[in-house]
């Protein structure tokens, strides 16, 4: 059974076709600069080669049309016929409070997605465009929406309500939503498999540390708090995003630098974080190199990041009343041994004892803690596409088999009746 997974950004489209028997992608690719000059598609063929197509790609409909052509291209396509695609899973950034889990897309879901545009004006419109394009070009193939926010809908009001007049929550939906939910959910389920314990009994802290970074406290498989908020700008210092600030700083900078709302928004999202502090790069690899060469501001950016992550770990261990597993995932979390070591330093008071030798790994699913570490430290490469495909298969297959439930092992769908 094959699932097409689509991730539509404002000017990009990432896709994979996943074979659900092996759980591996059989082809994947990326369309860049949609609606801009110099648009192109890079397609990984079934033969593990790359095909680059440079052509005008006006909009998401055109992009998806081009992708579908590549999937069935006679010379290198991974599929003989588009009908081999059992269902399509879409990553949708914002589901607001309407969606606490993935859903099969129908007319009422489309209406609800449109209602969420106000909350994610940059992200949701391309998601909707991608869904519409698929409906047009692959009518009859079921489509599922998988939301970045859904996993965090289990948070309690004490975690998600801000110290603002309550009417602003009621009127405008201003609250903490949290993001990276698909990733936090995937790695927490894998952690339970690795630790050979039921997810329902575990207290986990998941650190998704990439260009965008967030941390989640997950008790019994449910998100109870997370560092990103109303938008993905909150929480940790990130590649180019400021992370949490005294809110008064925002108005102060707007006055001093004479910035309007859009300019300030752009500033906080693209010119701050590790880039702003280091003055060198938003890429943690570049910053680590510069810090090793003695650049003080690069070192300061790393120190702030480590300090922020440690603070959240301490806070979330307190909120959950302990921690059984600390998970590192995404670009920095999966690959940077030095950052993992710095974050775990002097954390034995929480039972966190990293084994520096085991920690010498990149991108592997492995326990890197000392044998006597009460809290297990795990490196788990995230796989949001697989999680989207699993949710998509579960929902569509369940519908097909008239509500017969799939077999679930440790929360990850393994096989179907
Ligand atoms: P996103 O999906 O948010 O763009 P990723 O999860 O791909 O982010 O992570 C990108 C970040 O991971 C970059 O800052 C990059 O420098 C960092 N990264 C990747 N590999 C390494 C490494 N070996 N050491 C340190 N940082 C790394």
pLDDT (tens digit per residue) in 63-113: 999 999 999 999 888 999 999 999 999 999 999 999 999 999 999 999 999
Given a cut of 70, whether residue 389 has pLDDT beyond it is: yes
Indicate the SS3 state at residue 7: strand
Residues 6+ apart with CB under 8 A from 122: 10
Q: Is 148 a catalytic residue?
A: yes
Q: Position of tokens 């806070």?
A: 315
d(CA 120, CA 105): 19
Distance, CA 335 to ligand 1 centroid (Å)? 8
How remote is the CA of residue 170 from the centroid of ligand 1, in Å? 37
Strands (E), 166-264: 203-209, 213-219, 222-226
Q: Which is catalytic among the residues 21, 81, 106, 148?
A: 148
Contact (CB, 8 A) for 328 and 352? no
Distances (CA, A) of 286 to 274, 280, 281, 298, 332: 11, 8, 6, 9, 12
pLDDT value of position 414: 38
Q: Do domains 2-147+402-413 and 197-382 have the same CATH topology?
A: yes
- Indicate the pLDDT class of residue 401, thresholds 50, 70 and 90: low
Q: List residues near ligand 1 (CB under 6 A).
A: 210-212, 239, 283-285, 288, 330-332, 335-336
The CATH classification of domain 197-382, taken from the options 2.60.40.420, 3.30.420.40, 3.50.50.60, 1.10.600.10: 3.30.420.40
151-168: per-residue pLDDT in tens? 999 999 999 999 999 999
Give me the residue label for tokens 């596409």: 385
Tell me the residue ranges of DSSP E strands in 199-347: 203-209, 213-219, 222-226, 325-329
pLDDT tens digits, one per residue of 344-387: 999 999 999 999 999 999 999 999 999 999 999 999 999 999 99
Assign domain 2-147+402-413 to its CATH superfamily: ATPase, nucleotide binding domain (3.30.420.40)
Domain ranges of the chain: 2-147+402-413, 197-382
Atom of ligand 1 minimally distant from the CA of 239: 14
Give Rg (Cα) of the chain.
22
Residue 55 in this model has a pLDDT that exceeds 80:
yes
pLDDT of residue 196: 97
Q: How far is the CA of 221 from the centre of ligand 1 (A)?
A: 26
| pTM flag (> 0.75) | yes
**Which of 367, 416, 378, 404 shows the shortest CA–CA distance to 23?**
416
What does the DSSP assignment read for 321-356? Answer: TS-SEEEEEHHHHHH-HHHHHHHHTT-GGGTB-B-T
Atom of ligand 1 nearest to the CA of 339: 25
Paired with 219 in beta bridges are 203, 222
Q: What are phi and psi of 336, to 5 degrees?
A: -95, 105
* Residue 238 contacts residue 231 (beta carbons within 8 Å): no
- Residue burial 2-17, b: 16+ Cβ < 10 Å; e: rest: bbbbbbbbebbbbbbb
Contact between 341 and 359 under an 8 Å Cβ cutoff? The reply is yes
Percent residues over pLDDT 70 in the chain: 95
Q: Give the ligand 1 atom nearest the CA of 337.
A: 24
What mean pLDDT comes out for the span 51-67? 93
């Amino acid at each position: 059974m094959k699932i097409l997974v689509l991730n539509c950004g404002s000017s990009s489209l990432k896709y994979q076709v996943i074979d659900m028997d092996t759980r591996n992608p059989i082809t994947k690719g990326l369309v860049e600069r949609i609606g801009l000059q110099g648009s192109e598609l890079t397609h990984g063929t079934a033969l593990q080669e790359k095909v680059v197509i440079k052509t005008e790609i006006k909009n998401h409909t055109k992009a998806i049309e081009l992708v579908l052509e590549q999937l069935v291209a006679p010379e290198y396509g991974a599929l003989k016929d588009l009908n081999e695609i059992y269902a399509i899973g879409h990553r949708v950034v914002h589901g607001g409070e309407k969606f606490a889990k993935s859903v099969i897309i129908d007319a009422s879901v489309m209406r609800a997605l449109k209602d969420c545009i106000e909350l994610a004006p940059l992200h949701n419109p391309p998601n909707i465009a991608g869904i519409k394009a698929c409906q047009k070009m692959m009518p009859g193939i079921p489509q599922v929406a998988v939301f970045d926010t859904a996993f965090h809908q289990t948070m309690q009001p004490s975690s998600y309500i801000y110290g603002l007049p309550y009417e602003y929550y009621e009127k405008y939906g201003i609250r903490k939503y949290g993001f990276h939910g698909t990733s936090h959910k995937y790695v927490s389920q894998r952690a339970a498999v690795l630790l050979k314990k039921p997810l329902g009994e575990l207290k986990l802290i998941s650190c998704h540390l990439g260009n965008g970074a967030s941390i989640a406290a997950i008790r019994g498989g449910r998100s109870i708090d997370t560092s990103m908020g109303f938008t993905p700008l909150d929480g940790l210092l990130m590649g180019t995003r400021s992370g949490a600030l005294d809110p008064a700083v925002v108005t102060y900078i707007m006055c001093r630098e004479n910035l309007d709302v859009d300019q300030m928004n752009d500033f906080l999202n693209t010119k701050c974080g590790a880039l702003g502090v280091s003055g060198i790069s938003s890429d943690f690899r570049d910053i680590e190199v510069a810090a090793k060469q003695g650049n003080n501001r690069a070192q300061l950016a790393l120190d702030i990041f480590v300090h922020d992550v440690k603070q959240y770990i301490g806070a979330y261990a307190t909120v959950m009343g302990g921690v059984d597993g600390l998970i590192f995932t995404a670009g920095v979390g999966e690959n940077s041994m030095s950052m993992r070591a710095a974050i775990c330093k002097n954390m034995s008071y929480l039972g966190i004892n990293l084994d520096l030798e085991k920690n010498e790994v990149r991108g592997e699913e492995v326990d890197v803690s000392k044998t006597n570490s009460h809290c297990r430290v795990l490196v788990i490469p995230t796989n949001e596409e697989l999680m989207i495909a699993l949710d998509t298969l579960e929902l569509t297959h369940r519908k097909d088999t008239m509500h017969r439930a799939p077999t679930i092992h440790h929360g990850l769908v393994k096989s179907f009746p």
